[in-house]
Amino acid sequence: MTVRLGKPILVTGIGITIAFTLGETLNSTVSEVGSWGILGAFALGAGIWFWQKPNAKIDFSPPTPLSLEKVKQAITKAEKIINYLAKEDPHQDLTPLKTTLTQLNQEFSRQDLKIAITGARKTGKTALKKLLESGNFGESIAFLETEPLLTLDCTANQQKSLAADLVLYLINGDLTDSEWQILQQFDRMHQRVILLLNKQDRLPAETREEILLSLKQRLKETIPAHHILAIAAAPEPLKVRQHQSNGEIKEWTEPQTVVIDPLDNHLRQIIEQEKSELVLGTIWRQALELAKETKQLLNQSRRKKALPVIEQYQWIAATATFANPLAALDLVLAAATNAQMLVDLGAIYQQKMSLEQAKTAMATLGKMMVQLGMVEVTTQALGTILKGNAITYIAGGTVQGIGAAYLTRLAGLSLIEYFQEQEINEQLNNDWNWTSLQNKVKQVWEQNQRLAFLQDFVKQTSARWSAFSG
């Protein structure tokens, strides 16, 4: 699961708190901060925070073989998330999810197999399907053709392929980069694949062998060599030209023999010897999909609870900054406020943490926001917007207050995004994925820094402040 953090105000507070411990120095520093109070001190405090960069290396190593225990663990995980959803949102209709869960537990005894035929356009999927369906594999074997699977973005077709027990992936030449990525994805999802170089009749024998050798070398960590075959499901008729004794030339076409025996024999062997293993892989993928679907519903329910919490703390930050003439006091209050917001959001998302852990996490988050230029850009943008409106610019702490509310909101939204991807953890945990968090902060920042959004936020905040002060 990925955890998100987004609280510039808290970072400010922590920085100031640290400065306080250094002695009288803070008084002079704060006086120099002046009217920009919270935002300027934010940058000051951030400068002394510790920053760690995790290793961003992507692991493309093949997954460990599936075991019955691993599959049952996936089902248990899905059931656990369903139970959390039932507890946290009792009005949610969980009948479809529970039905799917029951079916998964019944799948272990399944005897029929689903074999998907997929690939890019014009690779011969339809012709191959007709041949296989006429091959007397029995009623227990179903061949399913997908629409062209070109990239990983073809979500529906990808899911259809992953739902099958076995995939026949057709190509007409050497692999494209997108096809290679799709095969890597299948491998990571424990999806058994037979790679078929179709239309071999259109390739010279030497070229065909070169392509097969290249495929086996390139995919040696993904697909066993004996799962890479050359076939001709619908060979083109051969044009024949004959010179007659009278000087005339006769031309006609002769059908070529279908080449599918290597695949036919291979399939029958797999069906006979590996059926249970294929079914096990499908159950595992379906359990993951069920967990994913349920987690999305759970996140939707939790988000509805989390947004009011963020709004509460953003107005607290704004009000404190508006009301307190001393920037130092604002920052100290913000530090406590933002850390508590993180604790409250963590409770909603089953990410238990202490207040001290929250302060440490928010300190790192604050530095992220400073490094991304969020404080500086926000200050400049809000100053420009407010100067154009004499009414909203009356209060001396307006910029600071609205800036505090805005940055607090960005922090909270980042945390939501981050927590939505984390595993449920009811034990105290201080294990943050900082790279993931930084990506979420960037994402939220990009989504919420548009001028129209800022102008609307200023109107809402000013209206709220007017009601408060009135």
Give the angle 437-441-447 at the CA atoms, nearest 5°: 145
Phi, psi angles (nearest 5°) of residue 122: 60, 35
Taking residues 92-96, report their average pLDDT: 95
Higher pLDDT, 125 or 407: 125
**DSSP letter, residue 175:** P
Taking residues 417-440, report their average pLDDT: 83
Distance CA 168, CA 161 (A): 9
The pLDDT-based confidence of 470 (bands split at 50, 70, 90) is low
Q: Are strands 228-230 and 193-197 parallel, antiparallel or unpaired?
A: parallel
Taking residues 110-120, report their average pLDDT: 94
Q: Is 446 exposed, middle or buried (0-12, 13-18, 19+ CB in 10 A)?
A: exposed
Indicate if the alpha-carbon torsion angle 282, 283, 288, 291 is positive or negative. Answer: positive
Helix (H) or strand (E) holding 441: helix 434-448
Q: Name, of 45-59, 117-131, 136-150, 369-383, the range with top average pLDDT.
A: 117-131
Q: What percent of the chain has pLDDT over 70?
A: 75
State the pLDDT at residue 243.
Answer: 78
Distance CA 146, CA 317 (A): 54
Taking residues 437-461, report their average pLDDT: 83
190: left (phi over 0), alpha (psi -120 to 50) or beta: left
Q: Which residues are bridge partners to 407 per DSSP?
A: none
Give the number of other Cβ atoms within 10 Å of residue 81's Cβ: 20
CA 265 to chain centre: 39
Q: Which two tokens stand for residue 13?
A: 């507070």
Q: Is the pLDDT of residue 55 over 60?
A: no
Residue ranges per domain, the chain? 8-54+302-469, 112-189+193-273
Q: Which two tokens stand for residue 196?
A: 């078929």
Distance CA 87, CA 100 (A): 19
- Do 361 and 342 contact (CB within 8 A), yes or no? yes
Higher pLDDT, 152 or 310: 310
Taking residues 38-67, report their average pLDDT: 43
State the pLDDT at residue 394.
Answer: 45
State the pLDDT at residue 382.
Answer: 76
| Tens-digit pLDDT profile for residues 181-194 | 999 999 999 999 99
Which residues, other chains included, contact 295 with Cβ-Cβ below 8 Å and sequence gap of 6+? 81, 420
State the pLDDT at residue 258.
Answer: 87
Q: Which two tokens stand for residue 127?
A: 């012709």
Give DSSP secondary structure letters for 56-88: -----PPPPPP-HHHHHHHHHHHHHHHHHHHHH
Distance CA 166, CA 216 (A): 19
Average pLDDT, the chain: 79
- Do 316 and 326 contact (CB within 8 A), yes or no? no
Higher pLDDT, 276 or 64: 276
| Tens-digit pLDDT profile for residues 265-282 | 999 999 999 999 999 999
State the pLDDT at residue 393.
Answer: 47
Higher pLDDT, 336 or 126: 126
Q: Which two tokens stand for residue 369?
A: 């926001």
Which residues, other chains included, contact 138 with Cβ-Cβ below 8 Å and sequence gap of 6+? none
| Tens-digit pLDDT profile for residues 312-345 | 998 888 777 666 644 544 444 456 678 999 999 9
**DSSP letter, residue 109:** G
| Tens-digit pLDDT profile for residues 213-268 | 999 999 999 999 999 999 999 888 878 777 777 778 888 778 788 889 999 999 99
* CATH placement of domain 112-189+193-273: 3.40.50.300
CA distances from 182 to 129, 168, 223 (A): 21, 13, 12
For tokens 């225990």, what's the residue?
A: 69
State the pLDDT at residue 329.
Answer: 42
Q: Is the pLDDT of residue 100 over 50?
A: yes
Phi, psi angles (nearest 5°) of residue 110: -65, 140
Q: What percent of the chain has pLDDT over 90?
A: 46
Higher pLDDT, 166 or 328: 166
| Tens-digit pLDDT profile for residues 195-205 | 999 988 888 88
